[in-house]
Structure 1
C-alpha cells in the first residue's frame, strides 16, 4: 500500500514539474518569438551605430530640409568670405567669420545625411558656391544673382550696410526653414540642428540689426 502511495506521489510530482517546465519554456519561447516578430523590431528601429529610432529614422521633410539648407548655407559662406577684404568694420568681419565657422561643418553634416539616405546632394555652382538663387527659387532668403553681384562691387561702409541687410534677410529665411523642420521633421539629428540654427541665427539677426542701428 505504501509503495502505491509513493508511486502516485512521484507521478504527481513529475506532472507538476513537467507542467512548470512547459510554462517556463513557453514563456521563454514567446519572449524570443515576440522580439523576432516585432520586426526584427529592435534591429529595424536602430541605426547601425545603435542610435534610437527617433534619431535613425527620417522622412521627406528631413530630406527637404537638408537639400534646401545646403545651398542656403553655401550662399551664406560666399557672402561671409566677401567680408574678408571688403568690410571696414571689425565687428562685421568677426560676424562673417563666425558664420563661416558654424555653417561650413553643417554643410558637410547634411551632405553626409543625404548620401546615407541615397538622396541627391544639391550641386554647387561654379567655384563651389551657389552664387544665386537660380535653381533654388523656393528656398527662403536666398539672394538673387543681381544682389550678390552688387554686393561684390561694394567696399567699406557701403559693403558693411549691404552685407548686414542681406544677411538679416538670409538668416530669417534659414530660421523659417529650421522651424518647419522642428515641426515636421522626424530625424533626430536634423531636428537638433534645426534647434541650433534657430537659436544661433535669431541671436545673429539681433546683433546685425543693432549694427544697422535698428535696435
Structure 2
C-alpha cells in the first residue's frame, strides 16, 4: 500500500514538473522572440538608438552629428524669428519649412550619439553649443574652417532686432551662407562617413538645402 502511494506521488510530481516546464517555455516567448531568437509579432519596434548601436560608424559620422546639431539649432533660432519679424509671406513659408525639416533631424542625430556613447552638444544657444565641442574654430564662419556658415553672436543680435523688409533681406543673406556651410559639412559626410543613415541624411541635406539656396537667391533678386 505504501509503495502504491509513493509511486502515485512520484507520478504527480513528474506531471507537475512537465507542466511547469511548458509554462516557463511559454513565458520565455512573451518577450516577443521566437525560439530562433527573431522578433515575433508581439515585439516592439527597434528603436533608432538600438539601430545606431548595431550599425558600423566611424569618427566622421560622430563629427558630422556633433557639428550638424548646433548648426541646425542656430538655423531654427533664425527661422523662428521670421514668424513675427518677416514681412514677406515667402520668407515666412521658407522659415517654416526649414524648421519642419531640421528639428526632427536634431532628434535623430542626438539618438545616434547617445547610442554610440558619444557627447551630444549642449543645448541652450547655438554659440554655446559650438563652444562645447572640442576642436571647433569659431573665429570665421565663412572661411570653411570649423563650423562653416555659423553666425556669430553680434549677427544673431542684429537679426533679432530687425523687422520688415530689412529682416527679410538680412535673414535670406545669412541663411544662404548658413546653408552653404551645412552643404559643405554634409558633402564631407557623404564622402567620408560610414554609417548608412548618416550618409543618407547628409545626401538629403545637400539636395534640400541646395534647392533652398537657389530659392533664397531668387528672393534676393540674384537668381
Larger radius of gyration: 1
Gaps of 5+ in 1: 1-47
Question: Which residue matches 2:90?
Answer: 91
Deviation at 1:115, TM superposition (A): 0.1
Alpha-carbon distance between aligned partners in 1 of 2:128 and 2:78, rounded to the nearest angstrom = 11
Deviation at 1:124, TM superposition (A): 1.3
Looking at secondary structure, tell me which structure has more helix per residue.
1
Alpha-carbon distance between aligned partners in 2 of 1:86 and 1:64, rounded to the nearest angstrom = 34
* Paired residues of 1:168 and 1:208 also in contact (CA < 8 A): yes
Gaps of 5+ in 2: 1-45, 139-145
* Paired residues of 1:171 and 1:202 also in contact (CA < 8 A): yes
Q: How many residues align?
A: 163
Structure 1 length-normalised TM: 0.72
The alignment yields a C-alpha RMSD, in angstroms, of 2.0
Question: Which residue matches 1:57?
Answer: 56
* Paired residues of 1:132 and 1:144 also in contact (CA < 8 A): no
Alpha-carbon distance between aligned partners in 1 of 2:113 and 2:181, rounded to the nearest angstrom = 21
Structure 2 length-normalised TM: 0.70
Deviation at 1:101, TM superposition (A): 0.1
Deviation at 1:213, TM superposition (A): 0.2
Q: Displaced runs of 4+ in structure 1, greater than 4 A?
A: 131-134
Deviation at 1:130, TM superposition (A): 1.3
Question: Which residue matches 2:192?
Answer: 184
* Paired residues of 2:86 and 2:164 also in contact (CA < 8 A): yes
